[in-house]
Amino acid sequence: MIPGQKTDYFLSFMDRDEPLTPAGRLFLQPETSQIINCLIGVKNPIDADAFKAEVKNSVLLKHPRFCSLMVKHSSGREYWRRTEVDVDRHVLVFDKPLSDDPSISDEDSVNDYLADLSVSSPLNTDKPLWEIHLLMAHNCLVFRLHHALGDGISLMSMLLSCCRRADDSSQLPTAGGVGTSSTPRRRRSLWTLMKVVWYTLVYVLEFMLRSLWLKDKKTVVSGGAGVELWPRKLATAKFRLDDMKTIKKATTDATINDVLFGVLSCGFSRYLDIRSPKALGEGLKLTGAAMVNLRPQPGLQDISKLMNNVSGTRWGNKFGMMLLPIYYHKGGSNPLEFLKRAKSMIDKKKLSLEAPCSYKLGHFVMSFFGAKLASILNYRILCNTTFTISNVIGPREKITVVGNPVTYIRANSTALPHAITMHMVSYGERADMQVLVAKDIIPDPQVLVRCFEEALLEMKDAAAAASKT
């Protein structure tokens, strides 16, 4: 070695560069690059100086991922390298309204802004891969975080660690969802174990075929290769959790996710009836790609455990992909049938090991064949399915950010080959679902959102009527 010259290995050792995880490398590939946009609305005007001061003292800047540049060594491998964070470069203040048209509401202006961000605004790599946009005229802020930093659960848990409970400003928002990792597992019968093996084999085989040639039938909501580059529109579907709980009670052992997929199936059926020029076959299959949290505890995580990698609750991208189909059925039938069909499908999926197997398969391909092939296979799965769906359980109590009451929490990601991506986040007694569409394929996302909202209300009325009989 020439005196004074440092090899990449020595440089990595001296500067403590940390290699990206396989999943992190996947999200840096052009085909699968993703940025998560988390929108938080607040009740009162934002104090930009106070907000910056809060960020400087927050746990956000104590986490190495948020204080590191993404660098590429001469070997071609990506690493995290610690750096000084200039908060003024990360917290961007926008004083003027996003639109000069008084007929456009605040919500529509912000949604249009997020839709533009989803296709045209990558994060600069000369600073850590996150930004916060303060939209002063609209009383809201947008957290933009690269998916290489972590998955939705990690990032949402980190963001909410910067918030406080509205009823007690000394307390963090309650982490976790409707269940905990301490719930005892029931012993499974031989028949159940046989079903686990069968469903796993069937679903993993379909998963692999989706990365090759198996695809959904073409409809008016189908995307495809290159659609991620098309202009976008964004609309918000608003649900009351009490309505979803009422519907849930209409079917034994149903969950909120069962209700969500029943609503999606019913809503898509309504929309296809409106938009399709030809009659569709009963039972037409539309396949969704859902990201499933693989940590022991569902929902938001304790940020201290995430940062210390305690009990398997580690920071990063810890999720598997699951293919969840919904089916077209012509209007006029009992809306609760959509819930029953959704529950039957999801029960089989939950019994299988599809999500952990997809995670292991992805890790295997990344480790032995590289990020390029893994990204191509993931991209083909998205091209061969119809939509993306995610559901994150948010805080159950009202919260504040820098003492300012939070009115809503919403999330979406940058565009995918799907013509429609949906991300639902619950907060308090409501759940908002951001519906991002390719506007040249779905020019009227407000109509689609209305189909979902009306489907929920129709299912609620049917559930209430059924409970009285």
Catalytic residues: 147
Residue from 293, 178, 180, 256 nearest 431 by CA? 256
Structure tokens that stand for 415 in this block: 């565009």
User: Which residues lie across from 235 on neighbouring strands?
Assistant: 435
Q: Where are the beta strands (DSSP E) in 328-386?
A: none
Task: Kindly list the distances between the CA atom of residue 313 and the CA atoms of 59, 175, 295, 307, in Å, as whole numbers in the listed order.
Answer: 17, 13, 6, 9
Q: How far apart are CA 156 and CA 411, in angstroms?
A: 9
Instruction: Work out the end-to-end distance of the chain between its first and last CA atoms, rounded to an integer number of angstroms.
Output: 84
Answer yes or no: are the C-beta atoms of 449 and 434 closer than 8 Å: no
Give the chain's count of helices (H) and strands (E): 14, 16
DSSP reduced 3-state for 9:
helix
The Cβ of residue 229 has, within 10 Å, a number of other Cβ atoms equal to 11
Structure tokens that stand for 427 in this block: 């907060």
| CA angle centred on 314, ends 312 and 320, rounded to 5° | 85
The Cβ of residue 425 has, within 10 Å, a number of other Cβ atoms equal to 24
